[in-house]
Amino acid sequence: MPSTTAAKNKSAGETDFLPLLGTDYIEFYVGNAKQAAHYYITAFGFTPWAYAGPETGVKDRASYVVRQNKLTFVLTSSIKNGTPVADHVYKHGDGVKALALLVDDARAAWKETTGRGAESYMEPAVLKDKEGEVVLSGIRLYGDTVHVFVERKNYTGAFMPGYVSWTIPHFQIKETGLQYVDHCVGNVGWYQMNRWVKFYEDTMGFKNILSFDDEDISTEYSALMSKVMSNENGFVKFPINEPAEGKKKSQVEEYLEFYNGEGVQHIALATNDIVATIKELMSRGVEFLRVPTTYYDDLMSRVGHIDEDLEPLKELGILVDRDNEGYLLQLFSKPVEDRPTLFFEIIQRKGAKSFGKGNFKALFEAMEREQALRGNL
């Protein structure tokens, strides 16, 4: 969608100084990108798209780009010691480095955000090959995480200059129905949530559209607080969590300890048919959190009529929540690496624009059972 549409949604006199067209890609720094890419292809149904590494003139790293519908993941690992990628993995384990945002003008995005106080990660740079050009720029976010602004309107090649097309001959790939990034959640340190809320407001023009306090998000043992930040057109949403006082260690504290700092906690991936997508993901070995079957006893009285049959939801452990505008179905994976850090949410929205507040308690109790098994509660 062109940036002018975003600007039109503003009330008279205001213009969106950072029009975002959506998420461009998410880059993960991992220990072994070749195998991580295979996991996202086989388990999550992504298709190989592009590659950069020693064979393409990149001497210190290898990057595999996979995609599914509007989702693009980049899996990058270092092939040498002492590089920024190697250091990142040494410190954090596998995790999200860059949340890249699609823009019409990456130079303007950098100028507007850094001019408002964001710290530069990458000055605007033009990458060119025979397929055209991509302009990149970037700013620093919580922890070692960054936002990269990607301008690709003048590029027709695979991913971006520096990459070559990548396919795996004879490999039968079947997608799982994952469509686009719904939201990406960051975990920040004690009392840091409002600092990052202000960062999104001041430097990127985002609005705080929802807030959850420790009353909303607490179990018998632990608590957290969360604020959801959204850009002007609502294409990009970043909730920010911080730990809150509880009897025991909260899941956010466990994350901060094992990630060795602040970072991306989960990425919510949208599907148009959550039952089919979850069945497919489970059949390929993706593991999900389970809530007790008693969750379904009063589900219908809590959420009212839904189009889906209850039985498959119950069998797969899919959660349902309703707000004023409709309902949503969601399910959370277990962490996708050995450190209890990054996980995925699979979400199908049927009108609801919220984040499943009615499920928080059952969900966080399920997380705590896993946390206790790890000896970290």
Interacting residue ranges for Fe ion, rule: CB under 5 A? 268, 345
- Minimum distance, C-beta of residue 239 to Fe ion, in the bound complex (Å): 7
Between residues 85 and 346, which has the closer beta carbon with respect to Fe ion? 346
Between residues 40 and 355, which has the closer beta carbon with respect to Fe ion? 355
The overall longest dimension of the chain from CA atoms, in Å, is 60
Task: Give CA angle at 264 (110, 120), nearest 5°.
Answer: 20
Block residue for tokens 């549409």: 5
CB 75 within 8 A of CB 37: yes
What is the rounded distance in angstroms from the CA atom of residue 155 to the CA atom of residue 134?
Answer: 6
Query: Given the DSSP bridges, would you call strands 319-323 and 326-332 parallel, antiparallel or unpaired?
Result: antiparallel
- Minimum distance, C-beta of residue 117 to Fe ion, in the bound complex (Å): 27
CB 46 within 8 A of CB 68: yes
- Minimum distance, C-beta of residue 330 to Fe ion, in the bound complex (Å): 7
Instruction: Please enumerate in sequence order all residues whose Cβ is within 8 A of that of 43, keeping only pairs 6 or more positions apart, or say none.
Output: 281, 284, 285, 286
End-to-end CA distance of the chain: 45
- Minimum distance, C-beta of residue 367 to Fe ion, in the bound complex (Å): 12
Between residues 78 and 226, which has the closer beta carbon with respect to Fe ion? 226
- Minimum distance, C-beta of residue 150 to Fe ion, in the bound complex (Å): 23
Between residues 159 and 196, which has the closer beta carbon with respect to Fe ion? 196
- Minimum distance, C-beta of residue 185 to Fe ion, in the bound complex (Å): 5
Tokens linked to 33: 């990108």
Measuring CA to CA, how many Å separate 145 from each of 88, 204, 265? 10, 16, 11
Between residues 197 and 268, which has the closer beta carbon with respect to Fe ion? 268
| CA 153 centroid distance within chain | 24
Tokens linked to 332: 């959370």
Between residues 6 and 346, which has the closer beta carbon with respect to Fe ion? 346
- Minimum distance, C-beta of residue 184 to Fe ion, in the bound complex (Å): 9
Helix 360-373, helix 251-259: angle, nearest 10: 50
- Minimum distance, C-beta of residue 35 to Fe ion, in the bound complex (Å): 26
What is the rounded distance in angstroms from the CA atom of residue 357 to the CA atom of residue 328?
Answer: 11
Between residues 134 and 319, which has the closer beta carbon with respect to Fe ion? 319
Q: Three-state SS for 278?
A: helix
Between residues 137 and 241, which has the closer beta carbon with respect to Fe ion? 241
